[in-house]
Amino acid sequence: MGDTIKLRVSQIEKSFPGVKALDKINFSVRKGTVHALCGENGAGKSTLMKIINGIYKPDQGQIFIDEKPVKIQNPIQARQHGIAMIAQELNYVPEMSVEENLFLGRWPLTTFRKVDWKLLRKNTLKLLERENLPYHPEQRLKTLTVSDIQMLEIIKAISNEAQIVVMDEPTSSITQKEVAMLFEKIKILKEKGVSIIYISHKLEEVFQIADDITVLRDGSVAESHPKAEINADQVISLMVGRKMENIYPKEAIPIGKTLLEIKNLYHPGLYKDINFDVKKGEIIGFAGLVGAGRTEIMRSIFGLDPAASGEIRVQEKSLSIKSPKDSIKNSIVMLSEDRRRYGIIPIRSVMENAAISCLEKFIYNGFLHGTLQRKTIQEYFQKINVKTPSLETPIQDLSGGNQQKVVFVKWMLKNPDVLILDEPTRGIDVGAKFEIYKLMTEMAKQQKAIIMVSSELPELIGMCDRIYVMSQGKITGELKREEFDQEIIMKYATAAT
C-alpha cells in the first residue's frame, strides 16, 4: 500500500455568500493510512469533507479516486465510490429505532419493493453482536445518550465496506473505553487497505493514530507532513497563525458569597445525595466518566428533567424548578452538550438564534425593533469574535465553534447569575476554546457563578476553582485548586458507590 494514492483532490474551491471557504485545496490520502486534517473551526475542514461526500459541489477543482477523475453529486454517489462519512454534527432521526437509523438510506427491500423488516432486523442483530453493542434494534434513538448515538454513527459508517472513511470529530462524545474500541477498529481497517481521513481537535489522538497530518488555515492548506516530521506545538502554531503560550486564561478573581446551593438532590435511577454549591465569581467543574450522572443533574437544575426530591437555592431562596422557564426566570441558564438538538434552530438565521432568548428586549407595542436587535447582536458578536458571513446566514452554515459562540451570546443577552456549561468546548478548535475560556473568565469577573461539565480533565484543571467528581450517580470527591491532580480525579471517577 505504502505510497499508493487512494484519494486526491486538486485545486478545489468553494465559496458561500460573503466568504471563500476553500481556496485551491490540494490534498491526498494514501491507501491504508490515517490522514489527520487539523485546523481551527471555519478553516474549511468540514466543507472539504462535505465536497468529498457529495453534500456540497465544488465551484472549481477535481476529485480523483485511484487516480481516476470522479464526479460526486450526492452522498449516494459517494457511497457508490466507496466513501463513508461520520459527520461532526450527529445526523440521526430521534423518533426512529436503532435498526432504522443504522441502515437509513439502504433498507433492504423485498421483491415487491417494500421494506424487508425481517432482513433488516437480522442484519441489525448481526452488526450489534459483531460490534458487541448492547442496544435493542427497536430502541428509539431519543432514549439513548449522545455517547450511544455517536458510537452507532461510527458503526453505521464503517459497516458499509467503504474504502475511504471520513471521521469528523468521532470521539467528541464517547468514553475512553469506546475510544480504545474505535482505535482498534481503525487499526483493522488500515490492515484491510481502507484509507481514513481523521478530523479532531484532540491533538493527542491525532499523534496517536495518524500517519500523515495536513493543517488548513483560512480555507487554504498551511502545510502537510508525515507525522514523524511535525510536533503538536507546530500544528497549533500552523492552525492559529501564532504561537499560543497558555491556552487557559485563568485569573485570580475575588470569590463572593454562595449564589447557588444544591441540597440532597435525588432522581431515581440517575443520581442521589447530591450536595454542592457555587459562589459568586467562582468556576466549579464536574468531572467523571460518561454516564456518571453529571448531565442529568444539570438538566434537573435547569428544569428539563426535574428532580424527585431535594432543594435548589439561589441567593438563599428556595426555588421550585419544574421547567426551563422556571430556571430562566430565576436567572439560571444552561448550554447543552448536544448543541444541534437543544442549543440551536438549524434553519433559522444567526441573528434569530442569538435573539430568541430575549425577544422582549426588542419588541415595543407589539412590533419588533429590528435596528436595535441588529445593533445589539452585532456588538456581542464583535465582543467574542463570532465569524459569520452575515446576521441572516442560517446558523447551520457556521462552523461548530461559531455556532457554540452564538449560543453563548443567546444566554449572555439574558445576563444570568448562574451559567451551566455542559461540554462547552466539545468539537471546537484550540483557538475557539481559548475565546470561550476568556468569556468564562469575563463572566466570573462580573460575579456570575459558573458550572462547567467536561470530559477533558486538562480544561477543568486549567479553568476551575474547585472540581466535584462523580461516579455512578454520586459525588465521590471535591478538590480545591491546589489539590488538582489527574490521577486523583480519575481515582474518584472510578470509585464504586
Owning domain of residue 232 = 5-95+140-240
Looking at mean pLDDT, say which of 9-23, 82-96, 146-160 comes out highest.
Answer: 9-23
Q: How confident is the model at residue 246 (pLDDT cuts 50, 70, 90)?
A: low
Based on the domain organization, do 225 and 264 belong to the same domain? no
Please report, for the domain that includes residue 48, its CATH number: 3.40.50.300
Query: Each residue of 182-225: pLDDT tens digit?
Result: 888 888 889 989 999 999 888 888 999 999 999 998 889 999 99
Mean pLDDT of 92-96: 85
Apex 495 CA angle, 494 and 497, nearest 5: 130
Q: Do 450 and 342 have their domain in common? A: yes
- Give a yes or no: residue 251 inside a domain: no
User: Is position 391 within any domain?
Assistant: yes
Question: 425 by DSSP, 3-state: which?
Answer: coil
Contact of 453 with 421, CB cutoff 8 Å: yes
Mean pLDDT, the chain, whole residue set: 88
Residues 457 and 353 in one domain: yes
Q: How far is CA 485 from CA 91, 278, 332, 434, in A?
A: 36, 21, 30, 22
H/E stretch holding 176 reads helix 176-191
Q: Is residue 217 part of a domain?
A: yes
pLDDT at 179: 82
Q: Which of 304, 310, 356 lies closest to 334 in space, CA to CA?
A: 304
pLDDT at 494: 82
Residues 215 and 315 in one domain: no
The three-state secondary structure class of 269 is coil
Antiparallel, parallel or unpaired: β 164-168 and 83-86: parallel
Residue 245 — pLDDT band, cuts 50, 70, 90?
low
The answer to whether residue 121 is domain-embedded is no
> Same structural domain for residues 431 and 371?
yes
Is the domain of 235 the same as that of 276? Answer: no
Whether residue 319 sits in one domain with residue 203: no
Per-residue model confidence (pLDDT) at position 497: 41
Greater confidence, 2 or 78?
A: 78
Indicate if the pLDDT at residue 161 is higher than 90: no
Q: How far apart are CA 243 and CA 398, in angstroms?
A: 25
The model's pLDDT over 379-390, given as tens digits with 9 standing for 90+, comes to 988 888 888 888
Q: Count up the domains in the chain and report the number.
A: 2
Q: What is the mean pLDDT of residues 144-150?
A: 77
Select from 213, 240, 267 the last residue of a domain.
Answer: 240
Q: Is residue 127 in some structural domain?
A: no
Model confidence over 365-375: pLDDT tens digits?
888 888 899 99
**Are residues 235 and 307 located together in one domain of the fold?**
no
Instruction: Kindly state whether residues 319 and 437 are assigned to the same domain.
Output: yes
Same domain? 232 vs 301: no
